[in-house]
Chain A
Amino acid sequence: MITFMNNSDSEEEPCNERTSLMSAESPPVPSYQDGLQASEAGEAQAHRKRRTGSSHSPNNIADGDMSDSGVPVRESALENEEEELTLKYGAKHVIMLFVPVTLCMIVVVATIKSVRFYTEKNGQLIYTPFSEDTPSVGQRLLNSVLNTIIMISVIVVMTVFLVLLYKYRCYKFIHGWLILSSLMLLFLFTYIYLGEVLKTYNVAMDYPTLFLVIWNFGAVGMICIHWKGPLQLQQAYLIMISALMALVFIKYLPEWSAWVILGAISIYDLMAVLCPKGPLRMLVETAQERNEPIFPALIYSSAMMWTVGMAKPDTAARGPSQQTWDAGEDGRDNHRSPSHADSQMSETRSPVPTRPITSFEELEEEERGVKLGLGDFIFYSVLVGKAAATASGDWNTTLACFVAILIGLCLTLLLLAVFKKALPALPISITFGLVFYFSTDNLVRPFMDTLASHQLYI
């Protein structure tokens, strides 16, 4: 355990940057909306929007609007179309995000329910130094609040540090940090997880096989997350590392601290993303100003993935603002890109076969995906996992929290479609989840148990 605790420094780094950063919601959604709404033409991405505007029909209308020749009827028709497209794509994105969140939660709950290791108390992280084994309730509460304050301040410091690094363009440092933390997650935590699962099911595995399996898993994971790889594989890896991180949290956070931390972090998330000087908001705005994707290792993207390799020299005669997009697009397999554009664009426009236009459309598709931060995945899974672990073995509580989180996610995405800017994904879901957890555990459980013991159905 000593070695583990020593590692916890770097282990906290991935968790910190993940949690802190990734509570931000999808930055590109505003840009896609920008593409549709001419009224935001004044923003920095105006030139990019006009490019995209030229390539598809709603934006032709948008161009008309831009030139202020709009008859009010035309404008309202435009707005209706925008709203309809918003809602149509919004609903699709809700589903696209439900699946990974559900998968992550399923993995976490399955592990918690079957592998004993993650519910045993074997020490605490150095970030939560106060123990909860105190005799009195007041002391325990005080300790958990102190733990929370320490944890949140660590997260705030890490986030501000990351944002400063990003602002001052210390990309190499950030990349190195990300690579180090994902290395550790992919290798060390996977090794521990695999070891515990094998122990639970009493399966023997020799070291060479273990080494081979973990090496392959980790190496492919590193390549997929930080470089290029099939979208689904990247999504699968992101889900797996979120689940691993959530399991670590569930194991090492003491009970009351965990709940208070969940509450505090959703408040922090709300402030960090919505306040004008909030670090996450600044990060998102800086990324948008520079037309750069936020690091792919920290965001789950439901549509095309973005690659880290930015600004490759551009061959075609496209504008400089296109460079980052084209680099990402060039990096993928050629046969994959048109098919992606086809599958996702077929609803609204027919894919044009020539390559430059396809890349425009692909550009749309990248923007059209909803992006959810990995920290959100982690904290949702922590909530559901804690419910599964500590709710006296009751599945009803777990299910109730699961439904609550999904509904919260739905509402958040709805708000995203309405407000069209980066939103914190944690507060609504975590609030619903917490309310449902405590109420189900204390109120519903005795009711359902009594009903079930008499075999009564309601």
Chain B
Amino acid sequence: AFFWLVSLLLASLIWFVSVHLSDREDAKLQYGLLIFGAAVSVLLQEAFRFAYFKLLKKADEGLATISEDGRSPISLRQMAYVSGLSFGIISGVFSVINVLADSVGPGIVGIHGDSPYYFITSAFLTMALVLLHTFWGVIFFDACEKRRYWCLGLVVASHLLTSGLTFLNPWYEASLVPIFIITLCMGLWAFVTAGGSFRNVLKCLSC
């Protein structure tokens, strides 16, 4: 979570500087800068995820050398899951908590012509984002571990794609549906990466 926050900080620093250096009045430019800021933020998040992976790897090696049986008490998969989950939680919380806080207060959604489904779609999007971060975490760590760089690239690309899809946002069919499809695919991929299989699921359900 801390790493995600730092990445967010740097990204917003870049955006802030760029906004201040540019023309405030031009709405198109501002929007373009926003897209630029969002893209930079996504890239920074993935960079920090990588940095976190490196840190955890070092810690893992340290733990393994000093433990009694030579293995570390936490497997890399667990760390991947936890790191993905924490990225997801902090990113989800940051995206949605102000919306939640405002939703407690009085008001009518969409009175100025925006969509009246703002709150519910925000809720779904946040849920998708949290799940996505968790899945990305698992896939990312596994890809780094096995040095499959195409997996890494695919993760980063899908993050960029997801973020880009949210730019289509009042057009909810175009953004929500693909994002959920991506979430499902990522979920299946992460499940397979973590060693699950159809048989495991059957075993789990039958016992």
Binding site for B on A (CB under 8 A): 80, 83-84, 87, 393-396, 399-400, 403-404, 407, 436, 439-440, 442-444, 446-452, 454-458
Given contacts A450-B34, A457-B163, contact A444 B9 (CB under 8 A): yes
Check if B139 is an interface residue, CB within 8 A of chain A: no
Contact B2 A458 (CB under 8 A): no
**Which A residues are in CB contact (< 8 Å) with B16?**
442-443, 446-447
Task: From the candidates B8, B90, B101, B170, name the one contacting A444 in the complex (CB within 8 A).
Answer: B8
Contact A458 B66 (CB under 8 A): no
| Other contacts beyond A455-B170, A458-B11: 9, CB < 8 A | A403-B2, A404-B5, A448-B94, A450-B34, A455-B122, A457-B129, A457-B163, A458-B91, A458-B95
Identity of the chain A residue whose Cβ is nearest the Cβ of B68 in the assembled complex: A84
Check if B188 is an interface residue, CB within 8 A of chain A: no
Chain B interface main SS type:
helix
A87 to B90, CA, bound (A): 27
Given contacts A83-B66, A447-B37, contact A395 B5 (CB under 8 A): no
Contact B118 A455 (CB under 8 A): yes
**Which B residues are in CB contact (< 8 Å) with A394?**
98
Task: From the candidates A84, A443, A449, A450, name the one contacting B67 in the complex (CB within 8 A).
Answer: A84
Q: Mark B116-133, 1 if CB is under 8 A from A, else 0.
A: 001001100110010000
Chain A interface main SS type:
helix
Q: Mark B56-93, 1 if CB is under 8 A from A, else 0.
A: 00000001011110000000000000000000001101
Residue with the greatest number of chain A CB neighbours at <10 A, chosen from B15, B19, B125: B15
Contact A457 B166 (CB under 8 A): yes
**Which A residues are in CB contact (< 8 Å) with B93?**
399
Give 7 CB contacts A-B under 8 Å. Answer: A87-B63, A444-B9, A446-B16, A447-B16, A451-B95, A455-B121, A458-B163
A45 to B163, CA, bound (A): 60
Contact A395 B98 (CB under 8 A): yes
Task: From the candidates A80, A400, A447, name the one contacting B5 in the complex (CB within 8 A).
Answer: A400
Contact B169 A399 (CB under 8 A): no
Check if B45 is an interface residue, CB within 8 A of chain A: yes
User: What is the interface residue range for chain B against chain A?
Assistant: 35 or more
Smallest CB–CB gap between B86 and chain A, Å? 10
Task: From the candidates A393, A442, A449, A456, name the one contacting B166 in the complex (CB within 8 A).
Answer: A456
Smallest CB–CB gap between A309 and chain B, Å? 40
**Which A residues are in CB contact (< 8 Å) with B101?**
393, 395
Contact A452 B99 (CB under 8 A): yes
Check if B205 is an interface residue, CB within 8 A of chain A: no
Smallest CB–CB gap between A248 and chain B, Å? 26
List the 7 closest A-B pairs by CB distance, nearest first.
Answer: A447-B12, A455-B169, A444-B12, A457-B166, A395-B97, A458-B41, A443-B12
Check if B167 is an interface residue, CB within 8 A of chain A: yes
Identity of the chain A residue whose Cβ is nearest the Cβ of B167 in the assembled complex: A456
A394 to B99, CA, bound (A): 10
**Which B residues are in CB contact (< 8 Å) with A444?**
8-9, 12
A440 to B118, CA, bound (A): 25
A226 to B167, CA, bound (A): 59
Contact A452 B95 (CB under 8 A): yes
A80 to B68, CA, bound (A): 9
Contact A452 B98 (CB under 8 A): yes
Smallest CB–CB gap between B200 and chain A, Å? 30
**Which A residues are in CB contact (< 8 Å) with B67?**
84
Q: Mark B1-39, 1 if CB is under 8 A from A, else 0.
A: 110010011011101100100000000000000100110
Given contacts A443-B12, A443-B13, contact A436 B5 (CB under 8 A): yes
Residue with the greatest number of chain A CB neighbours at <10 A, chosen from B90, B95, B122, B169: B95
Contact B11 A447 (CB under 8 A): yes
Contact A80 B122 (CB under 8 A): no
Smallest CB–CB gap between A161 and chain B, Å? 39
